[in-house]
Amino acid sequence: MPLVAVTCPALLAFAALSVDIGALYDAKAQLQRCADAAALAGAGTLIDERRIRNNGGMTLEIDRAARDAAYEYVTRNHVLGDSPRVDLNVLNRDTGDIVLGTLRDLSNYQEPLWTVNPDTYNSVRVRVRRDKERNGPIGLFFARIVGLYTADVGAEATATFEDGVTGFRVTPNTSNADLMPFALSLNVWRALMVGMSAVGDQYTFDPQTGEVTSGSDGLLEINFYPGAGPTQLPPGNFGTVDIGANNNATSDIVRQLLEGVSAEDLAHHGGELKLGDDGTLTLDGDTGMSVGFKDALEAIIGKPRIIPLFDNVVGTGDTAQFNIVGFAGIRILDVKLTGAPDSLYLMIQPAQVSEDAAITEPGTNSSYLVYRAPRLTR
């Protein structure tokens, strides 16, 4: 059978069409990166201090901040040289460009984004398009020879932050875990969350600047030194726990305060620090709150951190063993570790913490205000 010869004009036509196809692939990839970045930015903004002050609920300010963050990240990106735009969709219609909602089962890719209860929102979906309704379709050049002048291209992404934190694992893809080696009684924490505090509300944290000043900001504080109260801890122990070595030196604790808990620290615990099947883990106690921690604690004032919560402790001094039952998000506000014993303090308040090294288990509620950092889920 004779071979069919392809003429030079036909080859040129195919080559010309491939140029348009390549441009469409580029546009699709750029739109996807744009949607991914915007969804992650929006979901990260949902983790907002105002949810604590609103008893865990969403506010219109948080809603608008999440939409603004997603919008900003869309416009930062270029698609074939132009910055796309999206509609804020303040009515949160499911067909909108930016949709806030809830995903409960991240393994179920058929689950719709629920928009019924704003207080449970944990996800942001962003759709970015180049079509006649938004940003204009992609213009074609060589495809015109077959009657095609434009093409519509779009991309969609959903990002979600997760609760149900049960532990921490540091990998090459995460940062160190912002876990402090100081434990707090679960009863003391629960009392704080329902408005019981001997300290009151003496400090103000500004989320815009990260600064802490005197005054009221609507969040109660407790004095974490020593142990947030004389009845919380056994003699000779001030709530410090060993994460990593059996007997952490002051230098180890200072490093963990400043840099977080590392993969090397967690190797001592089998690679991860995690509540067991019974919802607990045991951490050895340390002997006390050293003056050597002062500079490190002052350096992280205003920054969110995570502390273990315990429901029981046995033993004294560095022989103490803490029964850890969960984790809580806090912020250090002020430190004084020198002077008369009754004048010392380590002031903390509740804080939302986004942690990419967090391990989560859907349905668990052992931790408070600690979330796995937003990731792309759809």
Query: What tens digit of pLDDT does each residue of 279-326 get?
Result: 999 999 876 667 888 999 999 999 999 999 999 988 776 778 999 999
Q: What is the pTM of this model?
A: 0.86
Q: CB 70: neighbour CB atoms within 10 A? A: 32
- Report the candidate in 286, 36, 284, 27 with the shortest Cα–Cα distance to residue 160: 36
pLDDT digits (tens, 9 = 90+) for 60-118: 999 999 999 999 999 998 888 888 999 999 999 999 999 999 999 998 989 999 999 99
Query: What is the band of 230 on the pLDDT scale with cuts at 50, 70, 90?
Result: very low
Q: Omega of the bond prior to 226 within 30 degrees of 0, cis?
A: yes
CB-based contacts of 1, cutoff 8 Å, min separation 6? none
DSSP secondary-structure letter at 144?
G
Q: Are 120 and 112 in contact (CB under 8 A)?
A: no
State both tokens at 40: 């992650």
* SS3 at position 10: helix
d(CA 120, CA 112): 14
